[in-house]
């Protein structure tokens, strides 16, 4: 359009120029020739073809300019700052609470539609408006029956169908098949809306009876409908199917799929035999259901495989094209066929590849599967497709193959493949990937992934933190421990005893530079506070001998003699005995800080606990410390008291 405007304006300028030249002088032929030459020399402008853009093109373009913030939580939690989760448990709880809120809003709209009858939206978007859940067509006719079937009113639809038959009104085959679809889907039970209304009536009735009787009846428990979950004998679906004057392939296929879904596999197989006798053909969904029911029809593994082959041959004879759910059903059934299934799994997958059917079933040939998966973007075609990336990452962890995990992660990030992972699966996937990184990758790479992944992609589990601590230990990068401790507090793992023991053992094992030791001492102080604090709903963490010793060593190496002595006193309070390493480190700290009084207290503590190392400690103090006369007397009195106690024990 812009190019067209440019061409028109140029043409007008040429015309005005030629007009002015004509009016100015008729003898100026040179200028006229110039104008004619310019008109001839003007290039032709070719307008580009119109391109049709997607409705989301602008949003997709804007989204491509924004990168993920590794320090921010998942986008679903950013609307409410009070719903910012700290760990995977709270993330799952908050995501479920948001979904529960949506379901509650839908329930209110469906239960009270008369409160939402005013449409104030401009423009009006029908898909965002409340659904009409009450019948609008009155009377006993086929149109009313269709409406109630679309509203999934099972009991009302069956009653109206019976009324039509009693009145002698014929019902078309298409409408009868729709009613069969409804009955087979719900197993001749009630739809979700009817269940909720019936449960509400039962609950109100039970409350009335409870007020009238001395022994109240127990209200029915929600969701317990065993009759609705199983296929009942001579139910409404079977009754309507038998009285149908005409049946087509859709009628048989609906009955077969309903029977398989609700546990009547033997009846489904008999119904399939009737379908063949009436010379009808089954569709691909019916064959998928029959293949999934094979383990319930045959007991022996070889018989199961023969029955699977029979169904597949029937599909070929009836010219039914298999889909991905067909082969998924075959593979699931082969998992329950023992050695026969293991031997036939690979040929089935090869057949899928020959038919160009993409399956997302992880197996031992995961590398070959990734060769095809990492080239394309997939859309879910089977309910089990959502488990592919998690199962495949678990296979990578079992094989300890980090290169294969990188390939899988690249395939997951390609196109819209990330949509296979919801909040729970996303956290599980990245948790397994991070554990494999800690096991197989260099520490710099591990820390880089850790900063990029947490908390925007996943919340580390206690096992992930333990794997990270072990990776830091293996790479001798213990200076990162203080930042890991801050993450532990943020994640709510500050009272996990296994993590605390591992953290303290790493900080107290070796001597480090002064700066690192001071940072370790701050961590030890936080851990001490965790053990001492207690609230109404919080039980204090009990001290263990190893934890006390580790905290004492960390305080001693940082020169915090008073904090170290407060920890030494706790050994006697909880009836624990400090190790020689703990007492030596405390004595070294007392020497560095020139605190002979604390050193004498240590000897007194060792003597009161009856430790044989008390004499060794006393000799060290006499050699390494400059003691006053009072301190020497105090040290000698400790020795005399210990000797007298030894003599009394001998007597």
Instruction: Write out pLDDT tens, residues 81-96.
Output: 777 888 888 888 888 8
CB 604 within 8 A of CB 631: no
Give me the mean pLDDT over the 343-349 stretch.
76
Check: pTM over 0.85? Answer yes or no: no
Cα separation of 290 and 556, whole Å? 72
Q: Is residue 277's pLDDT more than 80? A: yes
Weakest-pLDDT range from 9-23, 139-153, 509-523, 545-559: 9-23
Give me the mean pLDDT over the 327-354 stretch.
79
Q: Is residue 639's pLDDT more than 70? A: no
Give me the mean pLDDT over the 400-416 stretch.
88
Mean pLDDT, the chain, whole residue set: 81
Q: What is the pLDDT of residues 533-578, one digit of tens each?
A: 766 666 778 888 999 999 999 999 999 999 999 999 998 888 889 9
Q: Is residue 348's pLDDT more than 50? A: yes
Quick one: pLDDT band at residue 360, thresholds 50, 70, 90?
A: very low
DSSP 8-state secondary structure symbol assigned to residue 437 = H
* Torsion on CA atoms 499, 501, 506, 510, rounded to nearest 10: 170
Two tokens, residue 290:
């029959």
- Short-list 619, 607, 609, CA closest to 643: 607
Three-class DSSP category at 604: helix
Distances (CA, A) of 118 to 107, 109, 114, 115, 121: 18, 13, 9, 8, 9
Contacts of 399 (CB under 8 A, 6+ apart): 366
Quick one: pLDDT band at residue 180, thresholds 50, 70, 90?
A: very high
Pick the more confident residue, 79 or 610.
610
Tell me what pLDDT residue 295 has: 92
Tell me what pLDDT residue 365 has: 64
CB 583 within 8 A of CB 602: yes
Q: Is residue 359's pLDDT more than 80? A: no
Give me the mean pLDDT over the 316-329 stretch.
88
Tell me what pLDDT residue 218 has: 40
Pick the more confident residue, 130 or 638.
638
The DSSP secondary structure of 464-498, one letter per residue, reads: HHHHHHHHHHHHT-GGGHHHHHHHHHHHT-TT-HH
**Angle, CA 602 vertex, CA 596 and CA 607 arms, to 5°:** 130
Cα separation of 382 and 326, whole Å? 10
Tell me what pLDDT residue 356 has: 60
């Amino acid at each position: 359009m812009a190019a067209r405007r440019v061409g028109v304006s140029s043409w007008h300028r040429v015309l005005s120029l030629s007009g002015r030249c004509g009016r100015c002088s008729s003898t100026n032929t040179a200028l006229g020739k110039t104008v004619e030459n310019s008109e001839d020399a003007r290039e032709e402008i070719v307008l580009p073809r119109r391109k049709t853009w997607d409705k989301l093109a602008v949003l997709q373009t804007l989204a491509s300019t924004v990168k993920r913030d590794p320090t921010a939580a998942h986008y679903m939690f950013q609307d409410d700052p009070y719903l910012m989760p700290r760990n995977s448990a709270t993330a799952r709880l908050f995501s479920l609470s948001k979904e529960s809120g949506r379901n509650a809003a839908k329930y209110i709209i469906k239960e009270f539609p008369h409160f939402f009858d005013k449409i104030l939206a401009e423009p009006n978007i029908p898909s965002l408006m409340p659904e009409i859940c009450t019948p609008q067509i009155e009377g006993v006719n086929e149109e009313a029956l269709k409406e109630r079937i679309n509203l999934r009113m099972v009991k009302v639809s069956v009653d109206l169908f019976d009324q039509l038959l009693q009145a002698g009104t014929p019902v078309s085959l298409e409408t009868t098949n729709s009613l069969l679809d409804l009955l087979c889907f719900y197993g001749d039970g009630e739809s979700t809306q009817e269940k909720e209304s019936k449960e509400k009536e039962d609950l109100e009735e039970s409350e009335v009876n409870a007020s009238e009787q001395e022994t109240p009846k127990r209200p029915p428990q929600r969701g317990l409908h065993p009759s609705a979950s199983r296929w009942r004998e001579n139910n409404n679906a079977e009754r309507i199917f038998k009285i149908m004057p005409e049946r087509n392939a859709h009628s048989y296929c609906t009955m077969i799929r309903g029977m398989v879904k609700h546990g009547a596999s033997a009846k489904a197989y008999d119904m399939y035999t009737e379908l063949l006798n009436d010379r009808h053909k089954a569709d691909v969904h019916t064959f998928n259901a029959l293949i999934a029911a094979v383990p319930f029809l045959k007991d022996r593994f070889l018989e199961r495989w023969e029955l699977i082959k029979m169904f597949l041959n029937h599909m070929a004879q009836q010219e039914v094209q298999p889909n991905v759910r067909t082969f998924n059903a075959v593979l699931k059934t082969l998992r329950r066929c023992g050695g026969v299934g293991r031997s036939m799994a690979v040929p089935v997958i090869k057949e899928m590849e020959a038919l160009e059917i993409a399956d997302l079933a992880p197996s031992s040939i995961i590398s070959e599967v990734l060769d095809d998966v990492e080239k394309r973007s997939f859309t879910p075609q089977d309910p089990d497709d959502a488990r592919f990336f998690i199962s495949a990452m678990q296979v990578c962890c079992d094989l300890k193959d980090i290169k294969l995990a990188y390939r899988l992660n690249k395939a997951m990030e390609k196109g819209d493949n990330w949509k296979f992972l919801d909040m729970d699966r996303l956290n599980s996937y990245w948790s397994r990937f991070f554990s494999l990184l800690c096991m197989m990758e260099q520490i710099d790479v591990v820390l880089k992934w850790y900063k990029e992944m947490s908390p925007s992609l996943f919340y580390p589990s206690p096992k992930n933190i333990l794997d990270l601590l072990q990776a830091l230990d293996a790479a001798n990068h213990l200076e990162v421990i203080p930042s890991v401790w801050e993450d532990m507090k943020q994640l709510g793992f500050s009272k996990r005893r296994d993590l605390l023991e591992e953290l303290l053992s790493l900080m107290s094992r070796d001597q480090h530079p002064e700066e690192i030791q001071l940072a370790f001492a701050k961590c030890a102080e936080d851990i001490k506070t965790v053990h001492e604090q207690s609230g109404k709903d919080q039980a204090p963490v009990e001290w263990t001998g190893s934890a006390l010793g580790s905290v004492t060593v960390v305080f001693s190496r940082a020169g915090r003699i008073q904090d170290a002595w407060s920890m030494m006193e706790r050994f006697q309070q909880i009836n624990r005995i400090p190790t020689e390493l703990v007492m030596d480190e405390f004595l070294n700290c007392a020497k560095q800080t020139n605190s002979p009084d604390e050193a004498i207290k240590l000897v007194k503590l060792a003597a009161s606990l009856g430790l044989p190392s008390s004499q060794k400690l006393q000799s060290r103090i006499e050699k390494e410390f400059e003691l006053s006369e009072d301190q020497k007397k105090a040290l000698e009195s400790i020795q005399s008291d210990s000797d007298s106690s030894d003599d009394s024990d001998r007597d």
